[in-house]
């Protein structure tokens, strides 16, 4: 009996085991399968995230080829992560592959339409492509998703400025000042709007506020100097420019040096201006710098340095034959020599090239005609200059400086 029970027990156990095996061979139950899939998804997420972290670090240190390889591996493991496609787009932008970058940002937005960074970077690409309306649309989408981020608001405002929508740009920047109360970039952009509206004094005020918030930001200080010049505050402009040019990274900036020279002329310090402009025009780049040669020629006229006037006139005639300044400077030089006929001929040539866009050729022509005793013609020439630019302060200053003896 004992053996029989053992046999029965063994048979029962074998039957249960067989039943269990049959159950296993029929596949996982629903809950078992779901759990397994969830576990696999978690593992893929971890692996993908690890590759993404590696790609991000490589991107930040500038190792772009490795970063692209790592982010591609991250996407191959898990394709449905918006931030992975966004990072891929940023890497491709740095590699100059803009079309592919655009596709990556668009893919990120298909996965997650609220992924704000992809809206912003896609806007940056549209701006580069010259598709300004689409760029503005994307920047505005970024602002709507994250109105507290000044970078997005400034980008949208700048795009409004590019498309001539100054009121809209200002409204964007002033929508909620509590977000941007201490943001220098917002004030700087408002300053640009003020300059475009020819409100230089308001621009100076805004750039000063921005400068207080970000005193080391050279772009703000450059904007401040330009606004101070336009506002006629040459003393402050000279101080700002001198401070900028003392910094190591800006000490060789030709445009700042030239602006400084113009400021010195306005402050009645033409000798210092001549020194700066002589330096600018004497190097390899300066040989063909039209604006610098024009400024140097004008300063030389103010100083009575007619040998330098002759040099500037010759250089300008060679490098910018379509500009009126070369013949105009030649007229000054010939007038100083006593060659009034030659001076008048050069002044006439300058007047023709100016095409009524600048009063100076007509003013100089009037001076020469006056010295030749042709009074009525001289008066007509001065009247012509006045009709071209009745409020031109520079023209009035030149008339005073080189008036008839």
Give pLDDT tens digits for 286-319.
999 999 999 999 999 999 999 999 999 999 999 9
pLDDT greater at residue 396 or residue 138:
138
Do 184 and 208 contact (CB within 8 A), yes or no? no
Same CATH fold assignment for domains 182-250 and 252-321: yes
Whether residue 171 contacts residue 190, with contact meaning beta carbons closer than 8 Å, is answered with: no
Cα 329 from Cα 343, distance rounded (Å):
9
Q: Residue 2 has what pLDDT?
A: 43
User: ∠ CA 61-62-65 to the nearest 5 degrees?
Assistant: 125
Q: What is the pLDDT of residue 154?
A: 95
Q: Give the pLDDT of residue 404.
A: 46
pTM: 0.77
Residue-level pLDDT at 15: 43
Give the span between the Cα atoms of 232 and 225, in whole angstroms.
Answer: 11
pLDDT digits (tens, 9 = 90+) for 71-119: 898 888 888 899 999 999 999 999 999 999 999 999 999 999 999 999 9
pLDDT tops 70 at residue 35: no
Q: What is the pLDDT of residue 14?
A: 40
Please determine, for residue 9, whether its predicted confidence score (pLDDT) is greater than 60: no
- Does residue 173 contact residue 189 with C-beta atoms inside 8 Å? yes
Whether residue 40 has pLDDT greater than 70: no
Contact between 364 and 328 (Cβ < 8 Å): yes
Give mean pLDDT, residues 191-216.
Answer: 95
Domain boundaries, the chain: 182-250, 252-321, 341-405
Q: What is the pLDDT of residue 45?
A: 67
pLDDT of residue 377: 93
Whether the predicted pLDDT of 201 surpasses 70: yes
Greater model confidence, 24 or 383: 383
Domain covering 252-321, topology: 1.25.40
CATH of 182-250, one of 1.10.3470.10, 2.40.37.10, 3.40.50.1370, 1.25.40.10: 1.25.40.10
Cα(227)–Cα(214) distance, rounded to whole angstroms?
Answer: 17
Residue 141 contacts by C-beta under 8 Å, 6 or more apart in sequence? 119, 123
Q: Which long-range contacts (CB under 8 A, 24 or more apart) does 365-368 make?
A: 365/331, 367/335, 367/399, 367/402, 367/403, 367/404, 368/331, 368/335, 368/340, 368/343, 368/344
* 245 compared with 390, residue with greater pLDDT: 245
pLDDT at 401 over 60: no
């Amino acid at each position: 009996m004992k053996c029989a029970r053992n046999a029965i027990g063994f048979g029962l156990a074998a039957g249960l085991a067989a039943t269990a095996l049959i159950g296993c061979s029929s596949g996982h139950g629903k809950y078992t399968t779901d759990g397994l899939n969830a576990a696999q998804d978690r593992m893929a997420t971890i692996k993908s995230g690890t590759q993404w972290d590696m790609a991000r670090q490589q991107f930040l240190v500038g190792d772009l080829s490795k970063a692209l390889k790592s982010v591609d591996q991250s996407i191959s493991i898990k394709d449905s992560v918006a931030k992975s496609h966004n990072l891929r787009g940023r890497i491709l932008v740095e590699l100059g592959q803009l079309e592919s970058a655009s596709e990556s940002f668009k893919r990120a937005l298909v996965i997650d339409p609220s992924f704000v960074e992809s809206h912003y970077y896609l806007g940056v690409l549209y701006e580069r492509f010259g598709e300004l309306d689409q760029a503005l649309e994307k920047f505005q989408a970024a602002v709507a998703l994250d109105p507290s981020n000044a970078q997005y608001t400034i980008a949208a405002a700048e795009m409004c400025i590019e498309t001539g929508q100054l009121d809209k740009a200002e409204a964007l920047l002033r929508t909620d000042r509590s977000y941007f109360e201490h943001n220098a970039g917002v004030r700087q952009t408002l300053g640009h709007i003020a300059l475009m509206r020819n409100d230089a004094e308001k621009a100076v005020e805004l750039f000063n506020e921005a400068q207080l918030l970000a005193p080391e930001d050279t772009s703000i200080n450059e904007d401040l100097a330009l606004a101070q010049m336009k506002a006629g505050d040459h003393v402050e402009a000279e101080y700002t420019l001198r401070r900028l040019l003392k910094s190591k990274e800006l000490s060789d900036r030709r445009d700042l040096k030239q602006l400084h020279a113009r400021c010195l002329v306005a402050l009645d310090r033409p000798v210092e201006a001549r020194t700066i402009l002589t330096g600018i025009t004497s190097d390899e780049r300066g040989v063909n710098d039209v604006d610098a040669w024009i400024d140097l020629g004008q300063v030389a006229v103010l100083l009575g340095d007619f040998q330098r006037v002759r040099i500037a006139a010759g250089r300008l005639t060679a490098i910018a034959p379509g500009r009126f300044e070369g013949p105009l400077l030649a007229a000054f030089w010939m007038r100083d020599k006593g060659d009034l006929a030659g001076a008048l001929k050069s002044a006439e040539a300058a007047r023709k090239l100016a095409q009524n866009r600048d009063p100076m050729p007509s003013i100089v022509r009037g001076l020469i005609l006056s010295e030749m005793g042709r009074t009525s013609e001289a008066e007509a020439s001065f009247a012509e200059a006045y009709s071209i630019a009745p409020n031109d302060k520079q023209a009035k200053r030149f008339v005073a400086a080189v008036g008839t003896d």
